[in-house]
Every structure is written in C-alpha cells, then in structure tokens.
Amino acid sequence: MEERKHWQGHFYNLLGYVQCKLGCTQDAPRWFGLAQEAFRKIRKADEGPWLVVHYGNLAWLHHLLGDQGKSQDYLSKVDALMQKYPSPPQQELHAETYAEKAWTLMKFSRDKQLQAVDYFEKAIGMQRDMVEWNSSYVLAVVNGFKYHTTGLEDEILEKMRIAKEEDPDNLYLAAQYLKQRAKRGERIDKDEVRELGGRLLKDPVSSCNVMHELMWVYREHVSVDEAVNFAEEILKLNPDEFYLKRCAALFFKWVTCRDNCPDQRRVQRAIRLQEEAIDRYPDSSLANKIDLANIYAKKDQGQAKAEQMYQDLLKMDLEPADKQMLYHHYAVYLNFDRQDSKNSITYHMKAAEIPQKSFFRDESVRILEEIKDRNWNFMCKKIGRCLDNLPKLQH
C-alpha cells in the first residue's frame, strides 16, 4: 500500500484503470468505488477537481461495458468539473491532474522520473499549499539519483530536510532522508534509526518502501543483527501482510549474499521467504527467481541447485532488457560463487552487447573496463574488442 493516505484514492483509481487495461472489467468497479470513497474521506468533500481523472476512468469503464448512457453521464461530469474548476491561464491541465499524472509516473515508470518532477513542479506552482505534493516532488527528484553511491547534492538534501519538517508523518521521506545522509558519509545516530523503526512498528502497513529504506540504514549504521531482529518483529506483528514478507525476503537475500560464510539459518529463512513470494505469484518477476538462485548458491550443498535454476532461466525466451539483467547477474554469480572468471567475463560481455541502456549494462561495462585496465587477464584483448565495438546508446 501507499506510504501516505493522501494518495490512496489515486492508488485505487490506478488499480481500476489497470484492471480495465487487462480486460478484467468485472473487477474494476470495486477499485473505482474504493477510490471515490477514499477521495471523499481524504478531501472531506464529495466533489472537486481531483475527480476529473476518476470520472474519466468511469466513463471509459462503462464504454467498455457497453453502457453508453452511463459513459456519457460521466463525461458530462468531467465537463462540469472542468468548467467549475478551470485550470489557470496558459496551463493545459488542472493542478490536481498534473499531480496525479506525476504520482503515477513516479510510482510506475522508472524511466520517466524527470517528467514526474516536471508535472509536480507545475502542480505546486499552481497550488503551493499541498504538502504531500511537495514531499512527492522531492522523492521524485531523489529517484533520479537512485544508483548514486555518494549521496545527493547539497541543494537536494536541503529540500529533503525542509520537506521532512513540513510533512513529519511521512515515514518514507524520513527513512529516505536518513539513507541519503548516510550515503554522504554523515554519522547517523543509532537512536534516531531505532526511533523511526519504532514508529514503523506502530504503523507497518503504511509502506513496504519505508521498511526497505530503513532496513538499509539499520544494517549499515546500527548492526545486521538488529536489522534481522527488526525484520522478524515486523513479520511477527503482521503475519498476513505479504508485501512486508517480500521486503523481508529482499533483506535476507542481501544478508546471505554479501557473506562468504553466511549463517545457514538465515539462508534457509531467506529461501522460505523467497519461495513464498514466487509461489504466491508464479509468474512473478525474473528478479525474484534470480534472487532465489543467488540465495541457493550460499546454502550448504546448494550450488547445484543454483546452477540448475540459472540454466533454466537462460533457456527462457526473454525481452532484451530482462536478458541483459539475467546475463549481468549470472556473470556476478559465476565470478563470486563459482570462481569462474572466464565465463563471468563472457556473460558480462553478453550483457554489455545488448543495446539497452540500463544499470546492469553500465555495471557490466564498468567491470569489463576495470579488468582491461588492470591488464592481467588473458581475455583482455577480447574485452577490448568488445568494448570498442559496443553500440552507442542515446541517453
């Protein structure tokens, strides 16, 4: 669920829209109904410009259902709202619509974070008193620095600090602020981490994202043991919240895969959580299955199982981006778990040669360049030819 109730109506609205796109028109009305109720409770009003997109979705739903009369009724409601709440001069959309578009892009389109930032800026420029818009704007900016290991620039961090003060109940913003300060090399007070952890324990369903970011700070700046205990406490208090289990699974995967001789009880716990995620969603993402293979690689007598899982994945008919991710992870696995540098290099080259801009391609290219620069591996000439012939990608 969402980290902030302010966006709950938009969240349900989007779920209804997705159901329509998937052809599940019988399920969509439930989500649209929940959206309207959430809007009423949050806005404390039955009508407002925030319903423009919602009524548009309902018009589309009834069109798909063949009820053109109801479809037209909702289109009329959209027109009435747009006349009653016109957008400011020279703006294409109302502030509420810009904010909803921005939130949707921020949550569900990783490659459109800059556009989300632009939409939030337009919404805030028209309506500056919406605290949650400013918080989400700052987080969208931060998303653009997701893979930066040295933290944010001073100006962005200061915006985070101000947004956190103005929106003190936003636990995700607070957790991100702690994480970004830590990445910049600041000393993080352990009690500050524990205090935020205590707040999350009281309201754990506020967001899986909060737990994900806070676990990073726990493990890096308190201790891995406390991080493990914190994850187990959240799971004990919320045994039926699957998304928290998924977050815990990612954490236990990290704990096991970073250690050459991991605690086998934690390895088994990581396997159980990961397998539960895959069993619940059999068509789940490729990343879940890669994670499980990497965990098995850390299990006593688990190497054969890990290798077989990777071989099964390599036989799949995948899109270029997924294939690139798989090649990169398999290359890392071959190097660290199998000590097979030759085949590891081969798969890093395979990942790099796929003309798809991604974090995984960048990492494989970086690793290949480091090996070539050290000039100690017998494959250096082959690596050099590979790097010289890589297709130029547009940024």
Let me know how long the chain is.
Answer: 395
- Residue 285 and residue 295: Cα distance in Å, rounded? 16
Averaged pLDDT for residues 367-390: 92
Confidence (pLDDT) at 88: 78
Which residue, of 26, 57, 86, is where some domain finishes?
Answer: 86
Confidence (pLDDT) at 2: 40
Kindly state whether residues 327 and 389 are assigned to the same domain: yes
Q: With respect to residue 382, please indicate whether it lies within any of the assigned structural domains.
A: yes
For the stretch 163-221, pLDDT in tens is 999 999 888 899 999 999 988 888 999 999 999 999 988 876 556 678 888 888 998 88
Q: With respect to residue 110, please indicate whether it lies within any of the assigned structural domains.
A: no
107 confidence band (pLDDT: 50, 70, 90): confident
Kindly state whether residues 288 and 359 are assigned to the same domain: no
77 confidence band (pLDDT: 50, 70, 90): very high
Q: With respect to residue 289, please indicate whether it lies within any of the assigned structural domains.
A: yes
| Between residues 75 and 90, the one the model is more confident about | 75
Kindly state whether residues 325 and 310 are assigned to the same domain: no
Kindly state whether residues 361 and 385 are assigned to the same domain: yes
Question: Which position has the token pair 């294939």?
Answer: 323
Q: With respect to residue 359, please indicate whether it lies within any of the assigned structural domains.
A: yes
Kindly state whether residues 395 and 325 are assigned to the same domain: yes
301 confidence band (pLDDT: 50, 70, 90): very high
Confidence (pLDDT) at 1: 40
Kindly state whether residues 31 and 52 are assigned to the same domain: yes
Q: With respect to residue 205, please indicate whether it lies within any of the assigned structural domains.
A: no
Kindly state whether residues 324 and 298 are assigned to the same domain: no
Averaged pLDDT for residues 253-271: 88
Share of the chain above pLDDT 70, in %: 94
Kindly state whether residues 2 and 40 are assigned to the same domain: yes
Kindly state whether residues 311 and 326 are assigned to the same domain: no
Give the orientation angle of helix 341-353 with respect to helix 359-374, to 10 degrees: 130
- Residue 287 and residue 272: Cα distance in Å, rounded? 16
The total of structural domains in the chain comes to: 3
Kindly state whether residues 378 and 325 are assigned to the same domain: yes
Which residue, of 251, 282, 316, is where some domain finishes?
Answer: 316
299, pLDDT greater than 90: yes
Instruction: Note down the domain range covering 27.
Output: 1-86
H helices present in the chain, as ranges:
8-21, 28-43, 52-64, 68-84, 95-108, 113-126, 131-143, 154-166, 171-183, 190-202, 208-221, 224-237, 242-257, 264-280, 286-296, 303-314, 320-336, 341-353, 359-374, 380-388
Residues 6+ apart with CB under 8 A from 128: none
From 156, 173, 175, 154, select the one nearest 164 (Cα to Cα).
173
Kindly state whether residues 303 and 326 are assigned to the same domain: no
Share of the chain above pLDDT 90, in %: 55
Averaged pLDDT for residues 130-156: 79
The CA-to-CA distance between both ends of the chain, in Å, stands at 32
259, pLDDT greater than 80: no
Give the orientation angle of helix 208-221 with respect to helix 224-237, to 10 degrees: 150
Which residue, of 289, 316, 343, is where some domain finishes?
Answer: 316
292, pLDDT greater than 90: yes
Give the orientation angle of helix 286-296 with respect to helix 264-280, to 10 degrees: 160
152 confidence band (pLDDT: 50, 70, 90): low
Q: With respect to residue 129, please indicate whether it lies within any of the assigned structural domains.
A: no
Kindly state whether residues 306 and 337 are assigned to the same domain: no
- Residue 299 and residue 259: Cα distance in Å, rounded? 11
In the structure encoding, which two tokens stand for residue 76, read together? 């009329």
- Written as one string, the DSSP assignment of 228-253 is HHHHHHHHHH-TT-HHHHHHHHHHHH
- Residue 393 and residue 50: Cα distance in Å, rounded? 39
For the stretch 17-64, pLDDT in tens is 988 988 888 889 999 999 999 999 988 888 899 999 999 999 999 999
Q: With respect to residue 60, please indicate whether it lies within any of the assigned structural domains.
A: yes
Burial of residue 361, with CB atoms counted within 10 A of its CB: 0-12 exposed, 13-18 middle, 19 or more buried: buried
Q: With respect to residue 68, please indicate whether it lies within any of the assigned structural domains.
A: yes
